[in-house]
Amino acid sequence: MSSPRTLFAIGMTGLTFLAAAIALLILVAILSYVVINGGSRVSLDLFTQLPPVAVIKTGGGFGNALIGTLMTVMIAVLLSVPFGILAAIYLSEFGRETLFSSIVDFLTNVLSGVPSIVVGVFAYGVIVTKTGFSLKLGFSAIAGGVALAVLMLPIVVRTAAEALESVPNDVRQAAIGLGATQFQTVFRIVLPAAIPSITTGVMLAVARAAGETAPLILTTLFGYSWINSLIAPPTPTLSVLVFNFATGPSRNQQQLAWAASLILVALVLITSLLSRLAIRRKV
Amino acid sequence: MSSDTKSSSPTETVLKTENASVYYGNFRALQGISLDIPKQQITALIGPSGCGKSTLLRCYNRLNDLVKGFRVEGKISYHGQDLYAPEIDPVELRRRIGMVFQKPNPFPKSIYDNIAFGPRLVGYKGDMDDLVERSLKQSALWDEVKDKLKQNGAALSGGQQQRLCIARAIAVQPDVILMDEPCSALDPISTLRIEDLLQELKQHYTIIIVTHNMQQASRVSDMTAFFNVEMTEKGGRVGHLVEYSETQRIFQSPTEKSTQEYVSGRFG
Ligand SMILES: Nc1ncnc2c1ncn2[C@@H]1O[C@H](COP(=O)(O)OP(=O)(O)OP(=O)(O)O)[C@@H](O)[C@H]1O
Ligand SMILES: [Mg+2]
């Protein structure tokens, strides 16, 4: 005979198991759906060919969009990572418990909640558009990179600040006790110790940015030719290609949209795995 | 041996504390401490928890400067120089007065880099390999780690980590080494090894050690200071120095009753 308390425990365990199983199921469903629909089109052509316009019934790829995505994300990383890590160092080391740092901390949280379309509109306004108070660069990888950098920034700052804070205080005291300045303590001891966790955070941010579509529609646009400049010409990206092709009438384009989704998911999976490896190395 | 310290030529005072009171904000942790730390001797600080032993220790290398609201009244001097004078650079000072903490806290770096960290800070020009080897030998760790200097310091046992921390402190060639309960996280064998080590280190360094272990204090130290807490009129608790003398005196014929009770384990 089980007491009501044990029955309740068994029930709760079952419920949590069920929830975990459903979460897994959803992921498996998405993955298999993408693989079933996009898998048949996977070939080398995807990476070497240009996207077909709607009237072309077969063939084509999205080599330019893959390059565009990698380029845009790379720009975003170059902008957001150094900046984000330095900000995190201020928040968790030099500016600890100052009013300014708690304001920045709060605003970072707000920024992470800003919808990506709003960030896109902002980047469009200050970089792309040819009128008003703008850099007037037009649709470009740079503009897209800036938009993605803004989206990545709060994630990088948050995870880097947490990584720094998780370095035990003992270790800081040891360095100070040996006659290190605070600057030396942070850059020679605390930051190196936090690098593996910071890498994980950056990878997460990259995975998030790589799949963003809304801000890119407003900043990189799309194109059917190869990219030959960071600025000026519209830059195709995988996520915008999916957006453009998935709902169009062309069967060929629809298939490519699925294949592009598959490649995107694969990219995200690879980044997640890499970040896992980064944590592993620490232990 | 320690009883004739007094009769032999008076040793030089390294750290002189004169009527010092220490505050954390409004809270007074220590009151009216006067205490002279002799050169190249081991001075033990003992007393019940919360009486301010760590607080005093951290005054000597100004580690308490990092605590908001921390303040010292009275005078603490190091070789006659006021420790809290504005011209004293605490960063510079901490290179002369090293510290070993209660919990072993090696840097998450290789054994070699742990030791080289301090010397590199000051742009050490000599042979680093040699300095690392010497420091590890002095801290009686060399034989155990000489084949794995590239290995992470955190992978060592607790006792080895603590000896690594001692080696790290020695590597900057300090004058004084402060130790805050360095053996409290260690097993008896590691503890004995460190106690033996202290006798070696005493040849070159002035050592101040905080310990809760009475046997340890009586075994290793030359001088012992007993601290206690007392209630203030307002109901606060403040630490004060009860008795300071040669270790043998403190353990065999203390002047104060509370010292007698504390060292014999009949306390509170
Ligand atoms: N950073 C701090 N801020 C405020 N109060 C502190 C701080 N550090 C210590 N204190 C207080 O000062 C008093 C003395 O503390 P201290 O750590 O020096 O005692 P201790 O003798 O080392 O005790 P233990 O044997 O437990 O280590 C305690 O009442 C403690 O609460
Ligand atoms: Mg203490």
Residues of B in contact with A196 (CB under 8 A): none
A270 and A132: one domain? yes
Distance CA B69, CA B75 (A): 18
- For the segment B91-108, the average pLDDT, to the nearest whole number, is 94
B62, closest residue in chain A (CA to CA): A177
Calculate the dihedral angle through the C-alpha atoms of B101, B102, B104, B106, rounding to the nearest 10 degrees: -20
Closest Cα in chain B, distance from residue A94 (Å): 12
Supply the residue whose CA is at minimum distance from atom 9 of ligand 1: B55
pLDDT (0 to 100) of residue A274: 83
Per-residue pLDDT tens for A66-116?
999 999 999 999 999 999 999 999 999 998 888 999 999 999 999 999 999
Distance CA B264, CA B251 (A): 8
The answer to whether B59 touches B22, Cβ cutoff 8 Å, is yes
Find the ligand nearest to B29 CA.
1
Distance CA A226, CA A214 (A): 22
What DSSP assignment string belongs to chain B? -GGGTTTSSPPPEEEEEEEEEEEETTEEEEEEEEEEEETTSEEEEE-STTSSHHHHHHHHTTGGGGSTTEEEEEEEEETTEETTSTT--HHHHHHHEEEE-SS----SSBHHHHHHHHHHHTT--S-HHHHHHHHHHHTT-HHHHTT-TTSBGGGS-HHHHHHHHHHHHHHT--SEEEEESTTTTS-HHHHHHHHHHHHHHTTT-EEEEE-S-HHHHHHH-SEEEEEEEEE-TTS-EEEEEEEEEEHHHHHHS-SSHHHHHHHTT---
- Mean pLDDT computed over every residue of chain B: 91
- Which residues 6+ apart lie within 8 Å of A153 measured at CB? A80, A83, A84, A87, A108, A111
Query: Does the structure show a pLDDT above 60 at A283?
Result: no
Q: How many domains does chain B have?
A: 1
Distance CA B225, CA A262 (A): 72
Query: Does the structure show a pLDDT above 70 at B267?
Result: no
Burial of residue A65 (number of CB atoms within 10 Å: 0-12, 13-18, 19+): buried
Query: Please, which residues have CB less than 5 A from ligand 2, an ion?
Result: B 54
ipTM for the complex shown: 0.88
- For the segment A119-132, the average pLDDT, to the nearest whole number, is 90
pLDDT (0 to 100) of residue A248: 85
Query: Does the structure show a pLDDT above 50 at B178?
Result: yes
Domain that holds residue A10: 4-41
pLDDT (0 to 100) of residue B3: 44
pLDDT (0 to 100) of residue A163: 95
B120, closest residue in chain A (CA to CA): A180
Residue B2: pLDDT band (50, 70, 90) is very low
Region class of B227: left (phi > 0), else alpha (psi between -120 and 50), else beta: beta
- For the segment B232-243, the average pLDDT, to the nearest whole number, is 86
In a domain, B18, yes or no: yes
Closest CA to B179 of B46, B5, B10: B46
Distance CA B239, CA B27 (A): 11
CB atoms near residue A76 (< 10 Å): 26
pLDDT (0 to 100) of residue B225: 96
CA atoms within 13 A on the CB side of A149: 22
CB contact under 8 A, A168 and B105: yes
The CB of B206 under 6 Å from ligand 1? The reply is no
Beta strand B70-78 with B81-82 is antiparallel
Domain that holds residue B38: 2-104+176-263
A218 and A108: one domain? yes
A153 and A22: one domain? no
A115 and A160: one domain? yes
C-alpha B184: how far from chain center: 13
Residues of B in contact with A174 (CB under 8 A): 101, 105-107, 165, 168
Q: Which two tokens stand for residue B177?
A: 């080494």
A30 and A89: one domain? no
The CB of B236 under 6 Å from ligand 1? The reply is no
Among the partner-chain residues A179, A181, A189, the one whose CB lies closest to the CB of B107 is A189
Region class of B181: left (phi > 0), else alpha (psi between -120 and 50), else beta: left
- For the segment A251-256, the average pLDDT, to the nearest whole number, is 92
Q: Which two tokens stand for residue A250?
A: 């062309």
Q: Model pTM?
A: 0.84
- Mean pLDDT computed over every residue of chain A: 90
- Residue B22 C-alpha to ligand 2 middle, in angstroms? 15
A143 and A273: one domain? yes
CB contact under 8 A, A178 and B172: yes
CB contact under 8 A, B101 and A181: no
| Angle formed at CA A174 by CA B157 and CA B129, multiple of 5 degrees | 70
- CATH code, B39: 3.40.50.300
Region class of B173: left (phi > 0), else alpha (psi between -120 and 50), else beta: left
Q: Rounded to 5 degrees, what are φ and ψ at B222?
A: -95, -40
CB atoms near residue B103 (< 10 Å): 15
Distance CA B98, CA B88 (A): 16
A25 and A151: one domain? no
Distance CA A202, CA A153 (A): 9
In a domain, B78, yes or no: yes
Q: How many domains does chain A have?
A: 2
A104 and A232: one domain? yes
pLDDT (0 to 100) of residue B108: 93
Higher pLDDT, A145 or A225: A145
In a domain, B211, yes or no: yes
The CB of B122 under 6 Å from ligand 1? The reply is no
A8 and A34: one domain? yes
- For the segment B118-134, the average pLDDT, to the nearest whole number, is 94
Closest CA to A95 of A3, A149, A164: A164
In a domain, B72, yes or no: yes
CB contact under 8 A, A192 and B63: no
Among the partner-chain residues B98, B103, B106, the one whose CB lies closest to the CB of A177 is B98
Strands of the sheet with B13-24, listed across from one edge: B81-82, B70-78, B13-24, B27-38, B237-246, B223-231, B42-46, B206-210, B176-180, B97-100
- CATH code, A86: 1.10.3720.10
Residue A62: pLDDT band (50, 70, 90) is very high
pLDDT over 90 for what percent of chain B?
Answer: 80
In a domain, B160, yes or no: no
Query: Does the structure show a pLDDT above 70 at B1?
Result: no
The CB of B52 under 6 Å from ligand 1? The reply is yes
Closest Cα in chain A, distance from residue B151 (Å): 13
Calculate the dihedral angle through the C-alpha atoms of B99, B104, B107, B109, rounding to the nearest 10 degrees: 130
A62 and A11: one domain? no
A154 and A134: one domain? yes
Residue A57: pLDDT band (50, 70, 90) is confident
Per-residue pLDDT tens for A211-251?
888 899 888 888 888 887 776 678 899 999 999 999 888 89
CB contact under 8 A, B117 and A176: no
A33 and A49: one domain? no
pLDDT over 70 for what percent of chain B?
Answer: 95
pLDDT (0 to 100) of residue A282: 52
CB contact under 8 A, B172 and A188: no
- For the segment B243-248, the average pLDDT, to the nearest whole number, is 94
